[in-house]
Amino acid sequence: MDQLFNRKYIIQGLFVLIAIILLGKLFYMQVISDKYFLSANNNALRKIYTYPARGVILDRNNKVLAQNQPTYDLLVTPNQVKPFDTLSLCNIIGIDMIEFRKKFQKAIVQSRYQESIFQKLISVETYASLQEKMFNYRGFSVRKRTIRYYPDSIASQFLGYMREVTPKDIEKHAGYYKSGDYIGKSGIEREYEPVLRGTKGVTNMLYNAHNVAQGSYANGKLDSLAVSGDQLTSTIDSRIQKLGEQLLANKVGSIVAIEPSTGEILAFVSSPGYDPNKLVGNSFSPNYREIFANPNRPFVVRPIQGGYSPGSAFKPLDALIALSEGVVDPNTTFNCPGYYIAGNRKFKCEHVDGNISLRRGIARSCNTYFYNIFAKLMTKNGGSYAKQHSTYEAWQNMVRKFGIGDTLGIDFPGEKAYKLFRAADYDKLHRSKYWGNTSIMSVAIGQGEINTTPLQIANIMAIIANRGYYLKPHVVKAIGNGKGIDPRFKEKHFVGIDARFFEPVIDGMQDAVNQSWGTATESRLQNIIMCGKTGTVQNSRGKNHSVFIGFAPRDNPKIAIAVIVENGGYGGAYAAPIASYITEKYLTDSLSGRRINGSTIEMYKEANLLPVFVTKPLVKPLNTPDSLKKTDSLKKALPLKTKVAQNQFNKLAIKPKVNATSK
């Protein structure tokens, strides 16, 4: 009996305890904590967001590349709108009545009780006119924001552009963005979006039963101010960026310049480009379509996405590996009769050089010399196919240390790696194990199964300038005030070749530019020792591509550069002189004439090398395809969502008032 009695009180005690806990929780929710009140999604409390200023982007010398200018969004809350002079509003914001009805229907479909964007990105001038008459337009309000402005209209692919968020963007960023917000979609604007965008301000506004604002909830203690985005100091030097774009005008190609000691990218030119101010504001869509339709593909970021055979620009790297592997030394000579015989194949050299050593072989860009050293590299462990395959695999692993065959990890979206064949890839290509150096000889001069980006070959020049190492290329120098860059951009990456092997190769590159018999004399500079290498890359779809890689000065190098001009012919024709102008501008902040061939910078700026595209006229079909007829019949059968919106629109009875000034 006592046990039953005790159990009764235990159960009663448990119920009392649970009741106390529930009452305490209810008291906390309703009296002490604001959390649950604020999370209630009703008409009494609304969050009004204030947009922060986006972070300014500067060049390395603190010149503004991207800044902000004010703009305004016209918002509407449909159920607050009363009959008014709609024609007056249309005239101010520059739309017609058809567009007005369309926008209003869209707002109703979205929500009759919540405000939404009616007209976005209104200019300051339009806002001034609108503000004077806002009292006439009940239910409409204006919200301030900023949009981008690019003072010099340069570096379009580098800076990128912004665009309205998609549902996928909203989901990805965990609710930070709302419909109508803008986000960086390409370039620096995309890569550094989280630090550029800042933090929105929030006002928790109370509304009464008549939907009239009553002021900020709790006297604003739960509100927050907008915090501007961080300023970005880029590594770009706008002086040579602008010059590079001028030199590549009416050409397809790329210029990448790197500071060897830091890995900072000084120039990032992709041509053809476009005016970045065209992709700002309400003209975005038509301008985007126009740029996208350009057959030369301005949206391709060629420094990191253009795939090119390096051609003769690959020869210094090949020479370094041959020296480090001991198959040649600086005095090793080969005879060049103007060709090279490999098995039953004959490979052409551009000239007859006779007996030639490494230094002159680089300066003269002798194909025969590099065919010979590649053959010696591939057969140094034995001439059998199996031995050559393993030797090739080791060789391509050495090449990969220079950044070919994989991405370099730049802080920029969309970088491509392209292909450097492994031994297994050649097994698949030849469908057998019977391949050797004679089958892949074109790789010796940077052709065949090897593709690189302009960034990769510029980085190879930085490695040679540093005598054996590089720092990952990057485009941002500083974030905000005192925030450092990612530590990975300060690590040295060594390629595994002793520094003493670089000097003979650099000797050859110096002669290529500074000796009269060199292939890069068009890049010679006064009072500056520039070292470089030309390349002429075969192009199956037209004239060969002009390539130049180099660095300057020879001692304590300040700039490493790669220039590719599609359809520019041999390397000395366009790429070499363009590289010399960029280098001279960076090192001396001046430009001089060229005594070698009497050319002027204007000649290169004005040259037009754009390919001519022949388009076939569209043939209009005689009959409508059945599939289209079927689609049309489905459209007629399905009810349109806009019909619902139209009915709600009509209920509001908004009709244009015509006054004396509106006729």
Express each pLDDT in 102-129 by its tens digit: 988 888 888 887 788 888 888 888 888 8
pLDDT value of position 79: 85
Indicate whether 16 pLDDT > 70. yes
CB-CB contact of 243 with 269 (8 Å): no
Q: Report the C-alpha gap between 359 and 512 in whole angstroms.
A: 9
* 419-465: pLDDT as tens digits: 899 999 999 988 877 888 988 999 999 988 999 999 999 999 999 99
DSSP codes joined into one string, 243-312:
HHHHHTTTS-EEEEEEETTTTEEEEEEEES---GGGGSGGGHHHHHHHHHH-TT-TTS-HHHH--B--GG
Type of residue found at 546? S
CB-CB contact of 559 with 551 (8 Å): yes
Least confident of 14-18, 195-199, 301-305, 445-449: 14-18
CB-CB contact of 153 with 275 (8 Å): yes
pLDDT value of position 623: 46
The widest CA-to-CA distance across the chain, in whole angstroms, is 119
pLDDT value of position 566: 94
Number of other residues whose CB lies within 10 A of the CB of residue 645: 20
Contacts of 209 by beta carbon, 8 Å cutoff, 6+ apart: none
User: Six-digit token pair at 182?
Assistant: 């803008």
pLDDT value of position 216: 78
Type of residue found at 430? H
Higher pLDDT, 517 or 460: 460
Q: Report the C-alpha gap between 53 and 146 in whole angstroms.
A: 6
pLDDT value of position 500: 95
User: Six-digit token pair at 50?
Assistant: 């204030």
Indicate whether 472 pLDDT > 90. yes
Indicate whether 538 pLDDT > 50. yes
What percentage of the chain exceeds 70 in pLDDT? 86
Least confident of 175-179, 265-269, 548-552: 175-179
- The alpha helices in 439-574, defined as continuous H runs, are 454-465, 502-514
pLDDT value of position 237: 97
Q: Report the C-alpha gap between 446 and 435 in whole angstroms.
A: 18
User: Six-digit token pair at 528?
Assistant: 């500056």
Mean pLDDT confidence for 402-411: 94
CA distances for 505 relative to 39, 317, 492, 509, 556, angstroms: 69, 9, 21, 6, 16
* Four-point Cα dihedral 200, 202, 207, 211, nearest 10: -10
pLDDT value of position 585: 96
pLDDT value of position 654: 46
Least confident of 43-47, 266-270, 399-403, 489-493: 43-47
CB-CB contact of 537 with 549 (8 Å): no
Name which of 364, 389, 373 is nearest 326 in CA terms.
373
* 610-659: pLDDT as tens digits: 987 765 555 554 444 433 333 343 333 334 333 434 444 444 444 444 33
Least confident of 53-57, 367-371, 459-463, 653-657: 653-657
CB-CB contact of 310 with 446 (8 Å): yes
* 300-342: pLDDT as tens digits: 999 999 999 998 899 999 999 999 999 999 999 999 999 898 8
pLDDT value of position 33: 53
pLDDT value of position 639: 40
Q: Report the C-alpha gap between 280 and 291 in whole angstroms.
A: 13
The mean pLDDT value of the chain amounts to: 85
